[in-house]
Structure 1
């Protein structure tokens, strides 16, 4: 049987291409053929995935980072095809939540011999997010991390945090959380499905991929001496111990900015995809993902 694998040839500045030969060999060891297809854009990856699903493929693979997984998943929503993920990016946070190994051969074994799990996805005005939607400090962290050329591995996100904090910039938002108005001024607003981002940072340790809810995590302003403590608590998931961290759960969040304020950039799964105003909703049980057998 042939398994379609959609890849982003530019992931990690082309380093993902070094995984192709081990990937082909790993599939062959399971009696399968890897059908490698290169995508040229997020929309192209979505179209390719939708086409394979319509053609009856039981699983469609994504080779790349969290953004690539999101693009392929967008074409599989509501179909019978499962998403298979082979790590090829920097953060690879979704597989960490799902228990999928980073090792190529082990990830291929999951695709070949694993089970299908149905998870929720976030919908940001038609753009799918598998992990998290963030604004504010998180957006700045991702920008600095993505632009780093000489920092590697998880250190790139620490570098991004340090750059984003010098100096920290606050955002003003008008949120409507399941119909309830909430005015927010602070450093970051996160809306979590998986609860992991930035190479293992915990946006919300209690977030579940199949509970039909969005975890809302807001980090309010704090004086600089206290900010480091609050930020460490935010990233380690100790939200309930700190008064400047607001936590809630919802099914829909409308994100606006006050009248006259500039739009705020919105990041989904590590990529800048939109800006305010926007609406985030949860789509329960809408995607199948191939995960390890328990």
Structure 2
């Protein structure tokens, strides 16, 4: 299989070892996972996943990824071999890395939740429970969506700088707070005190100097386990929603930030919303680079360019009646 090592030693998936059935067979579904995700907690979903696929007459071909680049290479190889759908078991970061190997192919991404935020499935209406997610992969339909391209790094949800990236960093670093509460913890840590960023943005060719708390570039518009970055972001409109959060007095900021992240953006006087197809992100001369987060993971620093790749990824979603 083009050098892909089939990992069939996860739970009841041991029957997969040595299987000669090609992934082009519609009854075979490759599933790529990171066995260390959430400190190994994702492995508890393996047995229910294998049984759920079997209940639909499908064989789950479980494959271990060792890095983001490896997951991308695995997905691309499966697509080249004719797989109809490739599963990603994990959070938004895992979905992003598997999707990177499937962009501009006829192979669909199937998402099985195993993270904390799971914002992509929330946007697309994909169930969180393993059995229902597998049913979606087995019996759902393919929806074609846009992706963001950050200098070659694919993002399905959002690319953020400033406050949002700080929230993600604090949320990812805590070992005490659990579940969706990690994002509230991250918000509180990030705004005490808030740190401003200075950026030189070129939005579809127009220069914009920005000093504020957050610069966000949204595809799905959801992040942090259901918070809203952009109220009207559509995942298939061929546009990037640009969200710029300016500076504000701290007590006012705390109140307005809750409204902002809950989707009530019309009540926030310090928010600038627009749409674009390409944004160049620079920092002023002599300023330190600013960290850039994509789908919850720190992936780059300024300078960088974000572009939209319209209708470039198929995702398996629940079939509508």
Q: Do the two structures share a fold, i.e. TM-score over 0.5?
A: yes
Structure 1 spans left out of the alignment, 5+ residues:
none
How far did residue 226 of structure 1 move?
Answer: 1.1
- What whole-Å deviation, never above 9, does each CA across 1:114-151 have from its counterpart, x for those lacking one? 00000000000000000000000111111111111111
- Asked if residue 132 in structure 1 is aligned to residue 152 in structure 2, the reply is no
Distance 2:62 2:210 in 1: 46
Structure-2 residue corresponding to 1:92: 118
How far did residue 49 of structure 1 move?
Answer: 0.3
- Asked if residue 60 in structure 1 is aligned to residue 64 in structure 2, the reply is no
Distance 1:214 1:241 in 2: 22
Decide which moves more: 127-136 or 237-246.
237-246
**Contact 2:145–2:310 (CA<8 Å) still a contact in 1?**
yes
Structure-2 residue corresponding to 1:2: 28
- Asked if residue 215 in structure 1 is aligned to residue 241 in structure 2, the reply is yes
Q: Give 4+ residue runs of structure 1 displaced > 6 Å after superposition.
A: none
**Highest CA radius of gyration, 1 or 2?**
2
Distance 2:37 2:240 in 1: 28
Structure-1 residue corresponding to 2:145: 119
**Contact 1:26–1:105 (CA<8 Å) still a contact in 2?**
yes
**Contact 1:239–1:246 (CA<8 Å) still a contact in 2?**
no
Structure 2 spans left out of the alignment, 5+ residues:
1-26
Distance 1:182 1:233 in 2: 26
Distance 1:46 1:161 in 2: 31
RMSD, aligned CA: 0.7
Give the aligned length. Answer: 294
Distance 1:243 1:176 in 2: 23
Distance 2:250 2:47 in 1: 49
- Asked if residue 146 in structure 1 is aligned to residue 166 in structure 2, the reply is no
- What whole-Å deviation, never above 9, does each CA across 1:151-203 have from its counterpart, x for those lacking one? 11110100011111111100000111111111111111110000000010000
Structure-2 residue corresponding to 1:204: 230
- What whole-Å deviation, never above 9, does each CA across 1:82-136 have from its counterpart, x for those lacking one? 0000000110000000000100000000000000000000000000000000000
What does 1:34-113 align with in structure 2 at a 5 Å threshold?
A: 34-113=60-139
